[in-house]
Amino acid sequence: MTAVSGHGPWPGGERDVLDAQQTALGELAELPTGVDAVPFLTQLTQRGPGADPLGRTAVLLTEMPVELGPHGWKLTDHPGADARRADAFWREDLGALAVAAHGHTGALTVEVLGPWTLAAQLWAARGDRVLADTGARADLGLALADGVRRLVSDLVAQVPGAEVTVQLAEPLLGQVHAGVLPTFSGYSRLRAVAGPEIVEGLEPVLAAVRDTGARSVVHLGGTWVGVPPVVLAGADALGLDLADVGPGGWNEKAWELIARATERGTGLWAGLPPAQVSQCAGPALGALSDLVAVPWRRIGLPAKGLADVTLLAAHRATLAPVDAHRAELANLGRVAETLAEQAEA
């Protein structure tokens, strides 16, 4: 059945962790009949350094300690207060999940940064981005793979009936591949990373997910050129923000890649923007379902395949209020219901 999930970012401070998790789970429990819910671990990024996506992921690295530097998170010789704070946020989040999801069985998902976006944003201890050093970024991939194994184990320990999906956010993969990221000085650009190298960098992390019995999704934002390496690396699904793919969600080259991926058994997690709201007609949910269904039919994919699509809100530049997040999940549920009906037609 068509499903609904989320990336995880949620508004709130340090006292709101349990309430945020309960609210997200509650909204997903109210989805229409015939729509599957994929509960997600909420991330309250407003709590400060260490709650941000980069800090949360970097602190998972095995034997690669990190700390905050003048330019952001960087590798260091010994872990300190910054890493301990990020670890504490993880413990709070997992503890809240254990309470909110007590007795839950079935799908459960968590998002961290993928190896290429992590290497592009994390600084070496005494140098440029980790991405600039071939050996360092290979070590980072292996360290992240180990960290992901521990994370899945921790999730299952807190929610024993969970069937985990790990979402790897790779919004910078396209820039890594194109060679447009600036060096530390800003006077030049880092070397472009070729497609086969992109695949090699993803493989150990995806293999680690697979080894734990979990499933994997690699989210590319609107960077559809990253679809082939994600598929070749063995991801179970790919994520794309469809409104960014092209006008009305349509881009023939992008959808040809999506079609090839789905024909190879790679699922689609479709990111959709907030619904446009009219005072007279309410949210324009038809426009959201069209972002998926119209290109799907136009490229020649069978309608029944819409039942395998998972919907989630596209990444926001800034967090919206709680009510907006709740409304977005409800709207996605109604869009998923429409797509499920089209799949059965």
- Cite the DSSP H helix spans in 238-284: 252-263
Q: What's the rounded Cα separation, in Å, for the pair 258 and 271? A: 14
Q: What is the CATH number of domain 3-344?
A: 3.20.20.210
pLDDT digits 0-9 by tens, 86-97? 999 999 999 999
Question: CA 256, CA 259: separation in Å to the nearest integer?
Answer: 5
**Mean pLDDT of all residues in the chain?**
95
Whether the predicted pLDDT of 251 surpasses 90:
yes
pLDDT classification of 281: cutoffs 50, 70, 90: low
Residue bearing tokens 């034997």: 63
pLDDT tens, residue by residue, 189-224: 999 999 999 999 999 999 999 999 999 999 999 999
| CA dist., res. 39 & res. 10, Å (int) | 13
The phi and psi torsions of 101 (rounded to 5 degrees) equal -105, 25
pLDDT for 14: 84
pLDDT in tens, 230-239: 999 999 999 9
